[in-house]
Structures are given as C-alpha cells and as structure tokens.
Structure 1
Amino acid sequence: MRQYVIDEMRLDDFDRVKAHLDKRFEASEVEGVYWIELDEDVLSDEQKRHRECRPHCFAVELTPGALSVELLVRSKTFLKCACMAYADPRQRRWLMDRVDAIFEKLEISV
C-alpha cells in the first residue's frame, strides 16, 4: 500500500493530533481511522462523473507513534468501483499539504 507517513510522534503530540482529527474529520467504525474527504476541484474526471460514489476520501490511521494516510482515493459509498484509484500527483500534493497544515497549526515539528 502506498502511504504518506509521519512517524516518531511523541505521546502528547498524538493526543493533540487526535483531538484535532476528532473535531475536524469523520471517524470510521475502526478506532483510530478517519476519513479526509477530497475537495471536488481535485477529483479526477472519472471521480467527478461518479456522483453516486461520493464522497471520495483518503483513509487516515492515527496510532500513538504515527499518522499514516493511504494514497488510495476511496468511495465511502461502494467498496469497489472504477473511480477508486491511487492518488494522482495533484491529489497527493493536496493531501500532503492538508496533513502538513494540521501539524503546522498544532505547532508540532516533525
């Protein structure tokens, strides 16, 4: 699985990141996993056409030592569809900027 990972987090940083994710993003049914919904302007053409598959999301897993994000754009509606794909360069940049902004906002250096 392709991922963007920030590791070696301190426990107090984990608590702050968790509080932020709890406030800002939808938690999945799996503990420690959250959904980051993509903005419509970064969806691929196929993802834009698949309105019934929305929202399109990245899965984020937070553990006491790390935050990792799959680079797979998923549909929260369906388990399989042609619109699910690894993030293209623009989507990767959007995601990494989003994750980096969380750490900047919380003043956590990594």
Structure 2
Amino acid sequence: MRWYGIDDLTPEEIAKVTATLKDMELESGMDGLYWLPAPVEMLSPVQKEHVKSCGPHVFGLEVEEDSLRMELLVRAKNRMRCDCVHYAGPELRASMIAWLEQMLTDLGITT
C-alpha cells in the first residue's frame, strides 16, 4: 500500500487533529479511520464515470497514537472492488498531501 505519513506527533496534536476531523464529519465508523473526500474535478475519467454508482471517492486517513497515515489509494465508499478504485494520479496525490499539511498548519502543528 502506498501512503503518506506524518509521525512524531504529540498526544495534544493528535487530539486536535481528531477533533477537527470529527467536526468535519469525516468519521468512517471505525476508531482512528477517517474518510477524506477526493475532489470530484480531480478524479480519473473512470472515477468520474462511477461517481453515482460507486462514489463518493475517498482517501483513508489513519490516526494513530503519534502519527497520521493517509492512503494514496482512492477508494469508492459504495463498492469494495471496481476499476474506479486505484491509486491517485500525481495531481490529486499532491493536492491531498497539500490539504493534509494545510490542515496541520491551520491547527498550529508543525511537522
């Protein structure tokens, strides 16, 4: 699995991140896992075709004791296996990494 990770976070920083993700209603239903929505305009052609049948498309963000790990696999929330489930292209990957880093900056967390 390809992923982007941030480690060496304090318990206070993890609490800030978790509270923010909960406020944004991004909880997955599993402890420590959040679904980050992928911008529709940046999805691949097949993902755009499958928005209604398989979407929304999301990135999994795992929040652990002292780290964050964002999967770079674009998942379809309404279907486990489909051609539309595949790794993010360079533009979408860079955008999601930038989004995560900006959220940390906005929370006063330096990495």
Whole-angstrom CA distance in 1 between matches of 2:34 and 2:25: 6
Q: Which residue of 2 aligns with 1:46?
A: 46
- Aligned twin of 1:84: 85
TM-score (norm 2): 0.95
How many pairs were matched up? 110
CA distance in 2, matches of 1:25, 1:83: 24
Is residue 2:67 matched to residue 1:63? Answer: no
Q: CA RMSD in A?
A: 0.8
Amino acid at match of 1:7: D
Indicate the percent of aligned positions where both proteins have the same amino acid.
Answer: 34
What's the CA shift for 1:29?
2.0
Q: How does 1:2-81 map to 2 (within 5 A)?
A: 2-51=2-51, 52-81=53-82
* Distance in 2 (alpha carbons) for counterparts of 1:24 and 1:7: 22
Structure 1 segments, 4+ long, off by >3 Å, are none
> Unaligned 5+ residue runs, structure 2?
none
Question: Which residue in 1 is equivalent to 2:106?
Answer: 105
Secondary structure in 1 matching 2:75: strand
Q: Which runs of 5+ in 1 are unaligned?
A: none
Q: For residues 10 and 92 of structure 1, what CA distance do their matches in structure 2 show?
A: 26
Q: Which residue of 2 aligns with 1:93?
A: 94
Higher strand content, 1 or 2 = 1
Secondary structure of the corresponding residue to residue 82 of structure 2: coil
